Amino acid sequence: MNDSGHAWASRRGTAKIAALLVMALAAALLIAACGSSKSSSSAGSSTSPTAAAGVAVAGVTITPDATLNAMLPASVKSAGVLRVATDIPYPPFEMYADANNTQPTGFDYDLGQALAAKLGLHFQFDQIVFDSIIPALSAGKADMVLAAMVDNKAREQVLSFVDYAKVGSVLLTVKGNPHGLTTLNGLAGKTVAAQSGTIQAQMLTALAKQFAAAGKPALKVLTFPKDSDALLAVQAGKAVADYVQLPDAAYTQKTAGNGSVYQTVVDPAAPGGYAPSIIGAGVVKSDTALTGAVQKALQGFIADGTYGKILAKYGLAGSAVSSAQVNQG
């Protein structure tokens, strides 16, 4: 799921370092994402109303498509439920309605509801610790992941991704940016937080090694099971920033304390965030039938405007993809 000063020497330098970071973490990422499942936990789930009755999402009523339902693997069709793994909170992709309400909401939640309804299934949104989601899918505990998970070649060894958005990563610090953060290159000698198991955590670890090799002051990386824990570390002064996906940072900055708590740091040389990545709905690689059905359902939503309405609802129009593709990360 999910996922920073002296300035970079140039825009070209930014691109070069970002590329090196992505290459450096490719092998390590699969280990992080597909390691022991001992920390996996289903803390709760939310199940949709009867799909046959139609499900309202972003002002659109979604009804089943018999052709898509016929494409489903027998196990999913007979169960009548699309079990989707996620990790809440990671706004605006997945979050709770408010502090006193455990009803999930967010882009991934709405997209999941829409996909399940179109496939003629109930929708179940199961809470699983992020870095245990891939092991959970591999063990048959869920059918699909919707958790702002980056599609990359390492994860594609285990999952197939139906890609649905593009995002980059930025630093989220406290209001006023007291540490004067501007770029990732200025993180030498500082402590930065990230959610464990994410691309952002892996990028920071690779950057820390790069700093050490160059003889720069150490970058300390603090990782937490949830991004909300990383934010608490920033609030408490234990880290100068949280390294996250740009949509998450922008939403958190806008909504926390009505904009009075956090500030997003965007490098002018990387306005869309560092190392822009494709995120997608992940399905176990061997389940080609479910992957195909989800791809066709998403393409239908792109064509009829439903996808655009869900994006707009959560301020994600700038992250849109033009068509539903598989494994483009």
Q: Are residues 224 and 124 in the same domain?
A: no
Q: Are residues 123 and 264 in the same domain?
A: no
User: In which domain, by residue range, is 206 found?
Assistant: 11-32+172-275
* Residue 171 near residue 192, CB atoms below 8 Å: yes
Structure tokens at 258: 């009505």
Is residue 29 predicted with pLDDT exceeding 50?
Answer: no
Domain presence at residue 41? no
| Per-chain mean pLDDT for the chain | 87
Domain presence at residue 5? no
Is residue 43 predicted with pLDDT exceeding 70?
Answer: no
- The tens digit of pLDDT for each residue in 223-253 reads 999 999 999 999 999 999 999 999 999 999 9
CATH number, domain of 251, equals: 3.40.190.10
- The tens digit of pLDDT for each residue in 263-272 reads 999 999 999 9
Whether pTM exceeds 0.85: no
- The tens digit of pLDDT for each residue in 204-220 reads 999 999 999 999 999 99
Q: Are residues 122 and 178 in the same domain?
A: no
What count of other Cβ atoms lies within 10 Å of the Cβ of residue 259? 11
63 Cβ partners below 8 Å, 6+ apart?
52, 54, 117, 118
- The tens digit of pLDDT for each residue in 45-84 reads 555 544 556 899 999 999 999 999 999 999 999 999 999 9
- The tens digit of pLDDT for each residue in 95-115 reads 998 878 889 999 999 999 999
